[in-house]
Amino acid sequence: MESGLAPSLLRAVVQQESAFNPAAVSRAGAAGLMQLMPGTARRFGVHDRFDPAQNLRGGAAYLAWLLRHFNHDTDLALAAYNAGEGSVHRHGNQIPPFAETQAYVRSVRRYEAQWIRKLRAE
């Protein structure tokens, strides 16, 4: 993948964010497979958040950017994907003390482990 992300991590985020539904929309207005907010979509060149290829490319680019920004700390990158990079910074570059964000990180990591096992078995 051009983003350099591990396929297991990307699949885990998509599973958590949208359950692989390209038409998913959150209460907050995030949309598509990787649940991109309008500003994030624009920032990463996504013109149609419901186009699976654009959404995946933009979401993967954002996640890869977060990984670089947080020195390849996957948990912090995932927390920022969920709560925003500013929130992670405001909490001392730690996972914010929000139950939703903490559960999100744990859930994505569980899905990632499942995808690693599945991809190795193929």
Catalytic residue annotation: 17
Q: What separation, in Å, do the N-terminal and C-terminal C-alpha atoms of the chain show?
A: 18
Residue 92 contacts residue 85 (beta carbons within 8 Å): no
Residue 59 contacts residue 34 (beta carbons within 8 Å): yes
Residue 85 contacts residue 77 (beta carbons within 8 Å): no
Structure tokens belonging to residue 98: 């929000």
